[in-house]
Amino acid sequence: MTADAKPGDIIFLDIETVPVTASLDEMPESMQKLWDSKSNYFRSEGETAFDVWNRAAIYAEFGKIICISAGVITGTGPRKMRIKSFFGHNETQLLSEFSSMLTRFRPEKEVNLCAHNGKEFDFPFIARRMIINRLPLPHILDIAGKKPWEVKLIDTMDMWKFGDYKHFTSLNLLTNILGIPSPKDDIDGSMVATVYWEEHNLKRIVTYCEKDVIAVAQVFLTFTGETMISDSDIESVTLFSEA
């Protein structure tokens, strides 16, 4: 288990995803049929594949990444946190930039990645989209054949389960019960596709994504008995002019 990793050896991250296209009818006919088949398992009576296209964002085959925010913790007393987001309409480019960051960050020492529900969503989604975009997998995400102790992926939801694999707890719920500022003070995940495709407000999404990263880091620190980082010691180095 890698949850005993030191905070300074972890990259905390979160991703935001949207359906590949604004509407299902913009997809090739073959993909429309495949989505119809896929969504048939969860559509309510009377709903069509078009009605539930917004849910395509959670499937790597039908959704794409528009933002990956990554944060690192430095120092010991007081600790500081620095956040950088990789975002934009060109998924191949942002994935390439994120992958390059993983390669450059402390190359002499393998780091850990940490996300909330990361093992079920963030980590496999990033890996699948890299393959779809014909990009090489970073070593840390290429977990095929690795022994459990060789996998450097930390999941704060996994830590909270304490072995109870039927238990799901949202990041929003955890921050509330632990007294950590909620990252959902503006938008939540269900609103991201609308903000992206209809409002065209990528900056708002990036800001939300970075708040999630901060929350994940604060939850991890709380779980491990460490002091949380004060707001004044958290800095974003994201350049929104890139949007």
pLDDT tens, position by position, 209-243: 999 999 999 999 999 999 999 999 999 999 886 44
| pLDDT for the residue numbered 145 | 84
- Please indicate, yes or no, if residue 199 is contained in any of the structural domains: yes
pLDDT tens, position by position, 109-139: 678 999 999 999 999 999 999 999 999 998 8
- Please indicate, yes or no, if residue 101 is contained in any of the structural domains: yes
* Overall number of domains in the chain: 1
CATH number at residue 223: 3.30.420.10
- Please indicate, yes or no, if residue 122 is contained in any of the structural domains: yes
- Please indicate, yes or no, if residue 235 is contained in any of the structural domains: no
- Please indicate, yes or no, if residue 11 is contained in any of the structural domains: yes
| pLDDT for the residue numbered 5 | 81
pLDDT tens, position by position, 59-88: 999 999 999 999 999 887 789 999 999 999
- Please indicate, yes or no, if residue 53 is contained in any of the structural domains: no
Closest CA to 204 of 183, 218, 219: 183
- Please indicate, yes or no, if residue 128 is contained in any of the structural domains: yes
196-212: burial string, b at 16+ Cβ within 10 Å, e else? beeeeebebbbbbbbbb
Predicted model pTM? 0.92
| pLDDT for the residue numbered 108 | 52
Question: CA angle at residue 16 from 92 to 14, to 5 degrees?
Answer: 100
| pLDDT for the residue numbered 103 | 83
- Domain with 66, as residue range(s), is 7-20+62-230
pLDDT tens, position by position, 185-218: 777 778 899 999 999 999 999 999 999 999 999 9
Per the DSSP assignment, residues forming a β-bridge with 12 are 71, 114
Average pLDDT for 6-34: 95
